[in-house]
Structure 1
Amino acid sequence: MVSETFLHAWRRRAELPAEPLPWLLVTARHTIHNRTRGQRRAESLWQQAVSEYWRTPAPLPPDEAVAERDAMIAALAACSPAEREALLLIAWDGLTYADAAAVLGCSERALTVRVSRGRARMTQYLHPAADAPGAIATRMTPVKDTP
């Protein structure tokens, strides 16, 4: 903690007041608070992960897990870059639609369209039986990525 406090002071040495002790004490208190908050957050995430683990079904055998992973990677590759990025921000990073839209610099509606198209493209890739005669599904072609 002390080293972090002095590192912060060194980086902001041009802004230090003439009497740095009060500033250093406040900075040390903030450093301790940030570390404590981070530890609480990590503990909470760990507890959440453990509780979810006990509710999930037994893990797949290694060969099935690798096959499933490879299928998901291939399905993601079938998506456009914009769809892939939107899906990963929502599903992998756990962002809300509003936060993901802010990250991508687009509207929530545009993000919703990207996620919807990406899900449809992945479903089509993972379940090609939906293309069988009589099935209600349309073939989706790759879309050029727009900034």
Structure 2
Amino acid sequence: MKKKCMVLFLSLSMVLTLFVGCSDSKDSEKQLQKVTLNEVAHSIFYAPMYVAIEKDYFKDEGIDLELVTGFGADKTMTAVLSNEADIGFMGPETTVYTYNEGANDKIVNFAQLTQRAGNFLVAREEMPDFRWEDLKGRKVLGGRSGD
């Protein structure tokens, strides 16, 4: 898990360095490059990024990062295509859908930021001997409906 978080953080850092360039300003003061990142949902797998934002690591590198939650891959892709976001965290299937619909803008994917879904099953009460069969006949609330 630690290794995956580090890979995610390094991948994000590499992507964000694309937005930092040489400044035309001759001031010695560091100017921040505004970058808007739209994530499809909050996930524990992005925890290193959340820590980096809170600790101002992006600002230390000249990046003014605005984090927006899209609450759905379709909304995140729309934000990227409409230039409301510079980067979108979502699955690659949205790029395929966009391409198949004939979009003029081509999206570039950076793959494998995470290797597993960031979904967890939680209960209101402790279930020390939980088995998947315990879910039969129970109501389970999902994060979003599948298509």
TM-score range, shorter chain: under 0.3
- Tell me the TM-score normalised to structure 1 length: 0.25
Higher percent of residues as strand: 2
Higher percent of residues as helix: 1
Q: From the CA coordinates, give the structure whose radius of gyration is larger.
A: 1
